[in-house]
Chain A
Amino acid sequence: MKPEDNTYSICVGPVHPALKEPVKLNMQIDGEKVTGVDFELSQVHRGIEWAATRRNPIQVLFLAERICGICNMSHMISFSRAVESIGGIEVPPRAHYIRVIGAELERIHSHILWAGVAAHELGFDSLMHYTWKLRENVLDTVEYITGNRITKGLITIGGVRHDIPKKKFPRIIDTAHFYSSHFDKMADMFLKDRVIMSRTRDVGVLSKRDALTTCAVGPTARASGVKKDVRKDEAYAAYQDLDVEPVLPDAYTGEIHGDVYDRVLVRLLEVKQSAEIIERAVRQMPEGPIAWEEKPAALLAKLKPLAGDGIGRHEAPRGEVIHYVRMTGEEHPYAWKVRAPTYNNMMAWVPLLMNEQIADIPVIAASIDPCMSCTNRAVKAGTNDVIYSKEHLHRLSVQKTRELRRKMK
């Protein structure tokens, strides 16, 4: 360190009490101010995409579920939609509604879990315990529908695996009411508390411009005023019948700051929105079959001859998740690529953490709702550190596409 240079660096992670998952953050600090941010991944890389090329699509479905324990259904839906788009498989309307109910229950559970984690990062542990207590209601309903609390195994290619019979509807509607009626109390605790206000208002601001340049997705982007929601933009599954509008923070406060407070607000509003969607979906659910092909063995036989590329998009709790699948008429997928929302949102860490206080690092880092197990799709091998520019990466991808085209001819 040079004598005139007052910065020092601190390294947080990979195993650290503030981070529930392993990730390494390197920060340059000047006094109390963050002047440089860098992060290292690959601690949670499990080689899932590679393993998928050795298994059949139905096995991969359950592998996709284990990409992330919190938004597991989102990965199942995305993978199924990718395979469905290859084969032009038609999903029955009732299955679409059941998928929407499952996905929205998952969104409620994920957002409330996150709200608890955010309260914990602020040092407000009693609020964390309160929010986690609220969360148990949705987990009970998930267990009531699917038989398990976390990994639900509800989705299959071309539909869903279990029906939701009519006698289970009242319980689902009760849960939806529970969360709409608790919104005011949650808003009181999170949004009107003076301590939380002072810790989150105008802390970790992500401008709309930065949100667009870092390609932020989901609640992180919406809190900065980017009107982006796959449920509205692509209107897949039953979302086209259910009028989903992207939630922006100005719906509640009348202004958009793009700070941590707005990100809390957007997620709380989305819990309420999801509760309303679930209620409407349950009331409108049509009768009919629940899957394109219900028997797994027959489904597998029908999936075997598929060839081509497919893309599946889904609005996971954290933002847009994209799965790319290539099938070549063999039993195993030829390639599978997962782009999880945290991959985009992490890029926002750099503008978010710059010029902030050390004490605010945990809550700002947590405010994008990072999920490392979704993100770690690659591992660093070798030691030569080369930093690629955007132009260079673009050049490489153009080159690779040309090569692939030549090979395919």
Chain B
Amino acid sequence: MKAKALNRSLWVFHVNTGSCNGCDIEIVAAMTPRYDLERFGIKLVGSPRHADVLLVTGPVTRDMKKKLKLIYDQTPDPKVVMSVGNCGNSTGVFYESYNIEGPIDRIVPVDIYVAGCPPRPEAIIDGVVKAWKKLEEMKKK
């Protein structure tokens, strides 16, 4: 049987759940000319309803927990959740804080973890490639 590829470009929605901006600016850097993810048609979109990939940064503050859940529910299936940065993966330096509900995988299921504080744009691109493969697999099922 021929493997069926994803027949469209990935659209990404970015949620900041209390990040320090470090990961966020590296995500934008990955989109802009030096690293240029947009050449593959991958782009940041304004609504989770248009997205295939949820890119989540930050250790999830108490205020953002409900909003993250809501955004996850608004994203149509099949979807992939990417956690970018150490504080999203493990709450990082904020681990003991009273206002942190994270890490992200405690709130929504995470498929791809990108490590680094902040991760380099190359690492984010690598994560997106893995997300793409995962989406293709989901599509096959």
B34 and A136 within 8 A (CB):
yes
Identify which of A51, A63, A69, A130 contacts B23 (C-beta below 8 A). A69
Residues of B within 8 A of A151 (CB): 22, 117-118
Q: What CA separation (Å) do A63 and B32 show in the bound complex?
A: 29
Give A70 Cβ to nearest chain B Cβ, in Å. Answer: 5
CB-CB contacts below 8 Å: B57-115 with A? 58-59, 61-64, 67, 71, 87, 92-94, 96-100
Identify which of B17, B20, B33, B97 contacts A51 (C-beta below 8 A). B97
Interface centre among B20, B28, B33, B59 (most CB of A within 10 A): B20
A50 and B97 within 8 A (CB):
yes
Identify which of B28, B92, B96 contacts A132 (C-beta below 8 A). B28
B18 and A69 within 8 A (CB):
no
Q: What CA separation (Å) do A167 and B121 show in the bound complex?
A: 28
Interface centre among B25, B29, B92 (most CB of A within 10 A): B25
Q: Mark each residue of chain B from 108 to 139: 1 if its CB lies under 8 Å from any CB of chain A, else 0.
A: 00000000011010000000000000000000
Q: What CA separation (Å) do A20 and B87 show in the bound complex?
A: 18
Q: What CA separation (Å) do A186 and B23 show in the bound complex?
A: 26
Q: Is B55 an interface residue (CB 8 A)?
A: no
Residues of B within 8 A of A149 (CB): 26, 118, 120
Q: Is B12 an interface residue (CB 8 A)?
A: no
Q: What CA separation (Å) do A257 and B92 show in the bound complex?
A: 44
Give A366 Cβ to nearest chain B Cβ, in Å. Answer: 14
Residue of B nearest to A13 (CB): B67
A133 and B94 within 8 A (CB):
no
Residues of A within 8 A of B18 (CB): 22, 43-46, 373
Residues of B within 8 A of A72 (CB): 20, 22
Identify which of B16, B28, B94, B99 contacts A22 (C-beta below 8 A). B16
Q: Is A48 an interface residue (CB 8 A)?
A: yes
A67 and B20 within 8 A (CB):
yes
B63 and A43 within 8 A (CB):
yes
B99 and A46 within 8 A (CB):
yes
B24 and A21 within 8 A (CB):
yes
> Chain B interface residue count: which class?
35 or more
Q: Is A17 an interface residue (CB 8 A)?
A: yes
Known pairs A46-B61, A68-B20, A69-B118; A133 contacts B46 (CB<8 A): no
A69 and B22 within 8 A (CB):
yes
Give B29 Cβ to nearest chain A Cβ, in Å. Answer: 7
Residues of B within 8 A of A50 (CB): 97-98
Q: What CA separation (Å) do A130 and B64 show in the bound complex?
A: 33
Give A109 Cβ to nearest chain B Cβ, in Å. Answer: 9
Give B135 Cβ to nearest chain A Cβ, in Å. Answer: 22
B99 and A373 within 8 A (CB):
no
B19 and A373 within 8 A (CB):
yes
Q: Is A269 an interface residue (CB 8 A)?
A: no
Residues of A within 8 A of B87 (CB): 66
Q: What CA separation (Å) do A42 and B67 show in the bound complex?
A: 13
Q: What CA separation (Å) do A63 and B59 show in the bound complex?
A: 14
Residues of A within 8 A of B59 (CB): 46
Residue of A nearest to B121 (CB): A149
Q: What CA separation (Å) do A43 and B19 show in the bound complex?
A: 10
Identify which of A14, A17, A43, A371 contacts B46 (C-beta below 8 A). A17
Q: Is B15 an interface residue (CB 8 A)?
A: yes
Residue of A nearest to B38 (CB): A129
Q: Is B9 an interface residue (CB 8 A)?
A: no
Q: What CA separation (Å) do A67 and B61 show in the bound complex?
A: 14
Q: What CA separation (Å) do A130 and B34 show in the bound complex?
A: 10
Residue of B nearest to A59 (CB): B93
Identify which of A14, A51, A69, A135 contacts B94 (C-beta below 8 A). A51
Q: Mark each residue of chain A from 37 to 62: 1 if its CB lies under 8 Å from any CB of chain B, else 0.
A: 00000111111101100100000001
Q: Is A150 an interface residue (CB 8 A)?
A: yes
A150 and B25 within 8 A (CB):
yes
Give A50 Cβ to nearest chain B Cβ, in Å. Answer: 7
Q: What CA separation (Å) do A45 and B120 show in the bound complex?
A: 25
A binding-site residues for B, Cβ under 8 Å = 14-15, 17, 20-22, 42-48, 50-51, 54, 62-63, 66-70, 72, 113, 116, 128-130, 132-133, 135-136, 139, 149-151, 371, 373, 379
The 3 A-B residue pairs with the shortest CB-CB distance in the complex, in nearest-first order: A69-B22, A17-B46, A132-B32
B binding-site residues for A, Cβ under 8 Å = 15-26, 28-29, 32-34, 45-47, 58-59, 61-64, 67, 71, 87, 92-94, 96-100, 117-118, 120
